């Protein structure tokens, strides 16, 4: 399965959330984080990773394969092997395909992968093929996204798209104007709040969308995921033991169930590529009121 995590305003913590979800993902599952932020990656700098392997080497390998064989990745097992070959382990053995910090190089790599997965491409590309492998879980950090982003092909092919937003008045005002547009990006979009601000119930009333949950403000828990604590600290008081980690585990459980349904063969929901922008109701970005947690 593929779960894409995005923001549409500011920097609410998309990368940190992806790492927390991977660290707390329920069994069985083999989560891998793919840093696909067009603005450039942070993980390599945070954790002192080598420049390669990563997103650049994955794109180069995929492009070389397509040039040699004239096709995308035919089998899920082949895609999974290719993606994992270009990952590096973080403390706690969380694997990540890290993007280069330079925006131009990151966008170039994403453009290559999008060419494989896009309409008329040689696809499926390695990420989409790998996501179809049994037990595979891809958490794709897409950063801040707009309609022209090079990650749009990934969003449209994801089983679930998570939109992470602050809950302040300015955040919600910005989000309200873009809900129809955002809802057309994915067949299964989900809204998550972060930090303080308006309650889930208030957001549901204001936007007509019920957020799945709120990610708590937990600087100590987040510090483990931003490379500010040692490897020993990760194991002793790692993501799973923090307030952030406990919340991430609950969110991961909900997303795993939701993505499993979305990835079921024969799913009757419409293909997002065929949707008209603006034709999606507000409800498409949330879920039923009974599923949201009032907080």
Per-residue pLDDT for 117 more than 80? no
Predicted model pTM: 0.85
Mean pLDDT of 175-202: 93
User: What pLDDT score was predicted for residue 72?
Assistant: 55
Domains, the chain, with CATH or none: 2-264 (3.40.50.300)
- At 14-55, the pLDDT tens digits run 999 999 999 999 987 779 999 999 999 999 999 999 999 999
Give me 290's structure tokens: 């009974």
User: What pLDDT score was predicted for residue 97?
Assistant: 98
- At 206-227, the pLDDT tens digits run 999 999 999 999 888 888 887 7
Q: Identify the residue whose tokens are 């979800």.
A: 21
- Per the model's pLDDT, the better-predicted residue between 225 and 143 turns out to be 143
Q: What is the mean pLDDT of the chain?
A: 82
């Amino acid at each position: 399965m593929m779960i894409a995590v995005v923001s549409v305003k500011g920097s609410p913590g998309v990368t940190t959330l992806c790492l927390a979800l991977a660290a707390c993902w329920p069994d069985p599952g083999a989560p891998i984080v793919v840093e696909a932020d067009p603005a450039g990656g942070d993980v390599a700098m945070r954790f002192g990773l080598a420049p390669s392997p990563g997103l650049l080497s994955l794109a180069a390998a995929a492009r070389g394969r397509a040039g040699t064989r004239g096709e995308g990745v035919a089998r899920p097992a082949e895609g999974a092997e290719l993606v994992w070959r270009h990952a590096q382990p973080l403390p706690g053995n969380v694997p990540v395909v890290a993007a280069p910090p330079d925006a131009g190089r990151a966008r170039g790599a994403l453009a290559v992968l999008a060419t494989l997965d896009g309409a008329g491409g040689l696809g499926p590309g390695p990420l989409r093929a790998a996501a179809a492998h049994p037990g595979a879980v891809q958490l794709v950090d897409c950063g801040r996204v707009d309609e022209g982003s090079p990650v749009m092909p990934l969003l449209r092919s994801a089983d679930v798209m998570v939109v992470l937003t602050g809950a302040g008045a300015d955040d919600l005002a910005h989000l309200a104007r873009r809900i129809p547009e955002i809802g057309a990006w994915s067949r299964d979009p989900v809204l998550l709040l972060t930090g303080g601000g308006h309650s889930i119930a208030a957001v549901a009333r204001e936007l007509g969308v019920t957020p799945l949950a709120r990610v708590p403000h937990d600087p100590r828990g987040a510090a483990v995921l931003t490379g500010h604590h040692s490897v020993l600290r990760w194991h002793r008081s790692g993501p799973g033991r923090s307030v952030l980690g406990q919340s991430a585990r609950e969110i991961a459980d909900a997303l795993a169930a939701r993505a499993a349904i979305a990835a079921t063969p024969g799913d009757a929901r419409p293909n997002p590529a065929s949707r008209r922008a603006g034709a999606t109701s507000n409800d498409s970005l949330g879920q039923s009121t009974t599923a949201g947690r009032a907080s």
